[in-house]
Structure 1
């Protein structure tokens, strides 16, 4: 509608220009006012939705699933209020990617549904230009939404979900469309490792290396490339036992999995080299929608925590100082379809 109004105004001016000639235009106050009006329309085009509140604007933007769930959760009146609010609104496609059993659970548990939706909303009106990297924005739920900005502002994420259409202004706030559903962080990186069942060996390793747990419990932010139990199972048993008994080497190996910044998948580019806490670099490769860290494939990405993000990987990463711990015996087949089970378990963990 905005573009249509702009086009009509511009066509009207162009027509007048053609009919009267340029000299007549600048001699006529009326025609000058027509030109000025068209320019004002263009300048004000970005606030053309200012007469619609957030639920109404979400409907116009085609966020049908979000609007349906907001109604189901009884939040329409709240989001129609004075505000102002900042809403990170998932697209219909984002909702469609959620596991169906989880969606069914939400529809039957309105309180949980309302909590997840509240995590998408913050008090105040914040435009994309005002967001800062690693800014923690308190949501209506109480948990912080972590903002990250990559590639000189070209990419913005909210708790790891990329903003696909920013700054859609409403009468009581602003909507930033996002390509994924946000989930409240279940705790620090260390607490997630303790609670999630696919990390039992990693938890054992962290327990055997005093200091690393404290690091991952700190303020951060950190990115943990977390080997699942199946990743550790690819290490020959005698090598793993030797590693777990060597505290100094184990600490270095674990630190090699930690990057001292928040690197969601949207901020990773093929060829990136990330400096780890251990001091060495890990290399990022992205091919056909999949991401590798060195020779390890990311099987589940963007698990948000209160102090960073976890990416699950299918191989343990070894820094150069650990090259002789297993040697060629560490080589293993990448084609392990059973790893999907780990992915589903971890996805379910972050969805609860």
Structure 2
């Protein structure tokens, strides 16, 4: 529709057309034609053939051809191609799991882009699971559970399709739940527990967490982690330097941006062809959705640039050691 309006304005500007001519263009019958396809057929017409194949395989085509209305966040073919091959194979052999993933992409009711707002939580057809909507860059960029919405408001007779550039996966739980569930975060889990932050990161949030893996903690100078574990206040200070208030997926980050943390000090974002960095840490897995925000997995522990001597005595050890 935006393109239609721009075209109309261009006609008026260059041809001195009357308002009557403008509205004749806007009210052209071909433009106002009502949708004729139900959601599966429309998805096929839009080129979302992999989605259609998966919907049929999961036995959901009949349901999505029903009265509805439904709102479908439909991943394009390139989105499915980005999934790890092992995950695709698991989905193809496990129709129950495939159906759960697909239901996570569907809302009951017709929800158009004009109704989307930042941090909106929208209930999906997968019981107890919600999609988190985020808007960035003065509402010019929209994401659903961190996945970029690349086309909106494509009308079917029984609902609407918004196209995504990536597949959404249902969250494991909260930030704390994710850390508890994944073996790669066992050191982070211990640190969060010792620092007394487990309940906080299990709360409503939303939070964005830059989560160091076990390997990231292993890169700290010998003895540093134990010193931190022996000083919960200093440990909490470090961990809060990894936490941002609000949900900031990668679509909302810009190169050179300084992002304030709950430690009250900023981290710097660097974006290049090589990927995304937070200070000196590489983001090795971005945009992990959790029920209370987002997690970006990093390969290096972030060290606050300044701290009081009594709480951060280990900084001197870090400064005298090899750079992380």
> Residue 328 of structure 1: CA displacement?
3.0
Q: 1:205 aligns with which of 166, 191, 201?
A: 191
Does structure 1 residue 318 correspond to structure 2 residue 303? Answer: yes
Q: Secondary structure at the match of 1:237?
A: coil
Does structure 1 residue 286 correspond to structure 2 residue 278? Answer: no
Does structure 1 residue 159 correspond to structure 2 residue 145? Answer: yes
2:146–2:249 contact (8 Å) kept in structure 1 = yes
Does structure 1 residue 327 correspond to structure 2 residue 319? Answer: yes
Q: 1:72 aligns with which of 57, 65, 86?
A: 57
Pair 283,312 (structure 1): closer, same or farther in 2 beyond 3 Å: same
2:133–2:144 contact (8 Å) kept in structure 1 = yes
> Residue 90 of structure 1: CA displacement?
0.3
> Residue 34 of structure 1: CA displacement?
10
Q: 1:264 aligns with which of 249, 264, 269?
A: 249
2:135 counterpart residue number: 149
> Residue 163 of structure 1: CA displacement?
0.2
Distance in 2, matches of 1:35 and 1:255, equals 55
1:85–1:173 contact (8 Å) kept in structure 2 = yes
Distance in 2, matches of 1:295 and 1:192, equals 24
1:350 counterpart residue number: none
Name the larger-Rg structure: 1
> Residue 136 of structure 1: CA displacement?
0.3
1:234–1:330 contact (8 Å) kept in structure 2 = no
> Residue 289 of structure 1: CA displacement?
5.1
What is the aligned-residue RMSD (CA, Å)? Answer: 2.1
Q: Secondary structure at the match of 1:181?
A: coil
Does structure 1 residue 109 correspond to structure 2 residue 79? Answer: no
> Residue 48 of structure 1: CA displacement?
4.1
Distance in 1, matches of 2:229 and 2:213, equals 16
Q: Which runs of 5+ in 1 are unaligned?
A: 8-25, 27-32, 333-352
1:235–1:330 contact (8 Å) kept in structure 2 = no
2:293 counterpart residue number: 308
Taking structure 1 as the reference length, the TM-score comes to: 0.81
Matches within 5 A, 1:11-22: none
Pair 135,296 (structure 1): closer, same or farther in 2 beyond 3 Å: same
Q: 2:27 aligns with which of 27, 30, 40?
A: 40
Taking structure 2 as the reference length, the TM-score comes to: 0.88
Distance in 2, matches of 1:59 and 1:188, equals 35
Distance in 1, matches of 2:77 and 2:194, equals 45
Distance in 2, matches of 1:164 and 1:109, equals 29
Q: Secondary structure at the match of 2:28?
A: helix
2:221–2:317 contact (8 Å) kept in structure 1 = no
Larger helix proportion, structure 1 or 2? 1
Q: Which runs of 5+ in 2 are unaligned?
A: 8-17
More displaced 10-residue stretch of structure 1: 264-273 or 318-327: 318-327
Does structure 1 residue 295 correspond to structure 2 residue 280? Answer: yes
1:127 counterpart residue number: 112
Pair 278,36 (structure 1): closer, same or farther in 2 beyond 3 Å: closer
